[in-house]
Structure 1
Amino acid sequence: MASKTIINRYKCKQVGGNVTVITYENTSIMFDYGYAFSSSKIGSVDYDFKRNHIDAVFFTHFHYDHVGRFHLIPKGIPMYMAPVTKRHIQYKNPDGAAKYDEFITTINQGDKIKIGDIEVIPFLSDHSALGSFMYVVKTPDMNIVHTGDFRLHGYMAKTLYKNLKHDILMACDGNVDTVITEGTRIIDYPHPDITTHGMQLKAEKIFKKNKFAFFYVTEIDPESISAFYNAAKKYGMNFFVDKKIFEPVSMYVPFGKEIDERYNYEDIICEDDIKLSEDVLRKGFVYLISINDNCLNEIYKFKKFKPVFIFSERQDYLIPFMGNYKSNIADFYNKAMKVCKKSYFMHTSGHASRKELRIMLKSLRPKKVVPIHTDYPLLVSLLSRPYLKK
């Protein structure tokens, strides 16, 4: 007998801006509604909510390619998201969040949300966005797992391993019919992933030998920030955050503490003009910068102390003619390196490697795989074949 469950994907042959809709008879639920990246040739989804009814929208995490267009969803449609995701949209789009507040419900791991004939259960995942979810979706004739963006090399890897090997399977009664999975890094050159903990250990070695360090990572990556914070605290160093990004960086702390103690960096110091005090000279510091002239001046201020610079983003941001080249970041980096004695590159990806995709598939053993969030869906399908349940 044919399944009555229908899975529709929208603009999923690209990284970012993907939308998935699962329908069972008269009930339809949507997963994510964000913006495509500026480099996209496909563009964002303009879903026709008038012609195609949606009963609820579930968000996997707070990155703007997944949640950025929440304010374009018609009022009255319930939205479900992690508490930290709600806090993030309140910061990024305060007017939109206020207008939609009555329609937003925060959810946590293991909650069971019933939407018509469909039951949805969130599970904590491992991603660069704090509080990311995988979802189990149960219809009367199908068990589906929506992975969202995930990896297996961050601080939350152990939690996700447990969820994949036990809790998610239990929620699916031991039988996963379909996995809807990201495949962002399906063509990455095979190399060992640096784990978040491994990045922390590397940072510790740097801070042991260098008293003054500036580093750059996006303010919406609280896990990488935590890794450098934990490394700095091992040596009693001050941890400064540029004033321009202090609010988004600090707002994650209350949520992070509830998930894992390693995310607790509540004694960070807001700074935009470091004084050469006895405390600073004795303890040293690690300074999370943003890309602006004031931070560049701070780096130049400490020229005689021979600071180091840590770049914790993709290296191709700095390489002209590469698809991800960012001229403002590259220009800042080049100017900073005129006074910094050395630079270090260490970045941990927010997405699953091919090896980690295989681990997920081997754990869940689905009958079918539906690729999303990838430029190469066919390659994801080919990789999946050996792990499909016959």
Structure 2
Amino acid sequence: MVLKDKKTKITFHSGMMTIGGTVIEVAYEDAHIFFDFGTEFKPELNLKNESLEELLEYRLVPHLEGMYDQNFGYVYPNESTGTYNHTAVFVSHCHLDHTRMLNYLDQSIPLYALKETKVLVESLNAKNDFLLPNAHLKDTYTRDIIGCENHEVIQVGDIKVELSRVDHDAYGACGLLIQTPDLKIAYTGDLRLHGFDVEDSLNFCEQARDTDVLIIEGVSISFPEDPSRNLNRINSEQDLLNRILDIVDTNPDKQITFNCYPGNVKRIAEIVKSSPREVVLEASFAYILKECLDMNCKYYIHDFKSDKLDPKLEVNYQDLIADEGRYLWQAVSNFENLKGGGIYIHSDATPLGEFDPAYLPFIELLKSHNVEFVRIACSGHAFPEDLNKIVNLIQPKLLVPIHSLRPDLLENEHGERLLPERGQVI
């Protein structure tokens, strides 16, 4: 195996045989880093308070020595793994399964992400309802995140980490290029080859070429027994945009609303730029586009205000409710106010799908108000054929597929493959 006779250790704390909750540690002598810091998503558990103790009990987060905020009184139940003088955590992107635990991280440990991810996490958590809350944070709802430039290199003891942008449905997503004195490791985070920033993913693959260890997400290979997932598959973000614009073009006299995931900045920006109708965003989304892309958009006030938004661009909510042809506007709540006979476009917004208990009641609400529900979604994850392409571009000596229900379906014709178990150290 590639790691034979190496000092570098990789520990797979969580995120194996599941989608989400990835926590992996890379250690070299007195330094170690972690990526990411989210939780597994299991809404069916209906947990009471999602305290650290409860999350640990249900194995939604792993036991980690010296990583959790000391105010929780957490005691590591296992034998000590050693003393480290250098520690850091890196976050690949803003999605909850990679970030939800950030406020439970010890405040003294530096946390790094691309600057756009920092903006998105802080914006999404502006009302203290995105990340798990930490009552010990007094001045802000989100613990400190160090925003990095694309390709910035962070030194943690003898470990070097480069943050390299990739294409995903969360803007600011990155992979990590990790170099220890005796090993080169690449972690993809979540990525794809069919968005508006494909070149970022391809550039990451070029940088990672011939890496010793490639740790790669495998979400799209999780459902091989379900051919319906490939029926009417939207193959690119451009294809998705075209379908939305077609609905707008062919329904000139109907109220048309939409919603997207707020982290999908590029999709929202392209809708704004391409729509034949004037696009009006909810104010928090307009703020995100301003912060990430310096883009000024029309907006309406729901429950978010910012002095960074131009007051001349504000549109009255009642004008939107009454509209049947001028605007394509974003509905984020109060769906019972939408006009009967109108169309609502659900484009990877919450609730995300049938696995969410809120999804079917949401559809029924729209139906009861005679609003047509149209779902137009595009995966944020590489299609199975593109996962193979990524592996072949990088040609790793050791392939480690994670973040998947069926990691065994991803092969490595260029070297070995490891399917790690939770807690395994190599």
Change (3 A) 1:342 1:77: closer
CA shift, 1:271, in A, is 5.0
| Secondary structure, counterpart of 2:176 in structure 1 | strand
Structure 1 runs (4+) deviating above 6 angstroms are 99-102
Pairwise CA distance, 1:389: 7.7
Counterpart contact for 1:126–1:156, Cα < 8 Å? yes
Aligned residue type for 2:180: T
Between the aligned partners of 1:153 and 1:43, the Cα distance in structure 2 is 31
Determine the C-alpha separation between the residues in 2 that align with 1:32 and 1:225: 26
- Contact map agreement 1:176 1:365 (CA 8 A) in 2: yes
Which of 221-230 and 144-153 deviates more?
221-230
For structure 1, which runs of at least 5 residues remain unmatched after alignment? 259-263
Matches within 5 A, 1:1-390: 2-13=5-16, 14-39=18-43, 42-49=59-66, 51-52=80-81, 53=84, 55-91=87-123, 92=125, 96=137, 98=139, 104-165=145-206, 168-169=207-208, 175-188=210-223, 189=227, 191=230, 192-211=233-252, 212-232=255-275, 235=276, 237-242=277-282, 246-247=283-284, 249-257=285-293, 264=295, 266-271=296-301, 274-276=317-319, 284-290=326-332, 292=333, 294-297=334-337, 299=338, 302-303=339-340, 306-313=341-348, 319=354, 324-327=355-358, 329-340=359-370, 342-379=372-409, 383-388=410-415
Question: Aligned partners of 1:102 and 1:149: how far apart in 2?
Answer: 23
Cα separation, partners in 2 of 1:38 and 1:187, compared to 1, 3 Å:
closer
Q: Distance in 2 between matches of 1:337 and 1:26?
A: 59
Quick one: distance in 2 between partners of 1:99 and 1:77?
Answer: 17
The percent of aligned pairs where both chains have the same amino acid is: 21
More deviation, 56-65/75-84: 75-84
Q: Distance in 2 between matches of 1:285 and 1:99?
A: 35
Q: Which moved more, 1:69-78 or 1:14-23?
A: 69-78
Give secondary structure in 2 for the equivalent of 1:43.
Answer: coil
Question: 1:240/1:97 Cα in 2 relative to 1: closer, same or farther (>3 Å)?
Answer: farther
Q: Unaligned regions of 5+ residues in structure 2, if any?
A: 46-57, 68-79, 129-133, 303-315, 418-426
Under a length normalisation based on structure 1, what TM-score does the superposition of the two structures give? 0.80
Partner amino acid, structure 1, of 2:279: F
Q: Letter of the aligned partner of 1:152 in structure 2?
A: L
Q: Is the 8 A contact 1:317 1:330 kept in 2?
A: no
Give CA-to-partner distance per residue, 1:154-189, whole Å, 9 cap, x none. Answer: 111122223323xx14xxxx5311101111121334
Q: Is the 8 A contact 2:269 2:289 kept in 1?
A: no
CA distance in 1, matches of 2:237, 2:169: 10
Is the 1:214–1:288 contact (alpha carbons within 8 Å) kept by the matching residues of 2? yes
Partner of 1:261: none
- 1:148 offset after TM fit, Å? 0.5
In the aligned structure 2, how far is the partner of 1:334 from the partner of 1:101?
35
By how many angstroms is 1:104 displaced? Answer: 3.5
Looking at structure 1, the residues matched to 301 and 145 of structure 2 have their Cα atoms a distance apart, in angstroms, of 34
Q: Does the Cα contact within 8 Å between 2:363 and 2:373 map onto a contact in 1?
A: no
AA aligned to 2:5 is A
Q: Which moved more, 1:370-379 or 1:3-12?
A: 370-379
The answer to whether the Cα contact below 8 Å between 1:89 and 1:97 also exists between their aligned partners in 2 is no
Whole-Å separation in 2 of the counterparts to 1:289 and 1:27: 47
Counterpart residue type for residue 36 of structure 1: E
- Measured in 1, the distance between the counterparts of 2:31 and 2:9 equals 10
Residues 276, 69 of structure 1: alpha-carbon distance in 2 compared, 3 angstrom cutoff: closer
Distance 1:119 1:238, change over 3 A: same
CA deviation profile, 1:239-263 (whole Å, cap 9, x unmatched): 2334xxx32x1232144327xxxxx
Whether the aligned pair in 2 keeps the contact of 1:214 and 1:289 (CA below 8 Å) is: yes
CA distance in 2, matches of 1:84, 1:330: 33
Deviates most, 52-61 or 116-125 = 52-61
- TM-score, scaled to structure 2: 0.74
One-letter code of the match for 2:30? N
Q: Residue 64 of structure 2: SS of its match in structure 1? A: coil
> What amino acid maps onto 2:292 in structure 1?
G
Distance 1:66 1:59 in 2: 7
Q: CA deviation at 1:149?
A: 1.0
What is the CA distance between 1:227 and its match in structure 2? 4.0
Q: CA RMSD in A?
A: 3.0
Conserved 8 A contact 2:189-2:216: yes
